[in-house]
Structure 1
Amino acid sequence: MNASHADRKERKKQLLRELTQLEIEELREENVFDRTPHYSQLERAASKLGKLLSRETQ
């Protein structure tokens, strides 16, 4: 793995963490995180982010 590949990989991780934080903020606004979220709520949020990413790459 060369330096530019490692840099891109790290940048992707950073962007994913930022996107996750934004999603958590939205879920808190919807009062989903006022309690322990059910697994299905987390999966729904992850699926939503995956669909957004898929659309952007197409």
Structure 2
Amino acid sequence: MAQAAREAEEFAGEPVDVPDFIGTLRGLGFVEPGPGEPAAGGRAAAKRRCGRASRS
């Protein structure tokens, strides 16, 4: 994560709180949870729910 933070800071020109950024992406459903992590809400989860409902 330290390397990602350095690269993000270099790109953005200012420090980036990478753990917070990843948390935001997870909350929005753009990043799948890892093993043992709670399921994310947001778009990805909503799409999965809608897809399951349409196949029922």
TM-score category of the 2 structures, normalised to the smaller one = 0.3 to 0.5
Structure (1 or 2) with the larger CA radius of gyration: 2
- TM-score, L = length of structure 1: 0.36
Point out the structure with the larger helix share.
1
TM-score of the superposed pair, with normalisation by structure 2: 0.37
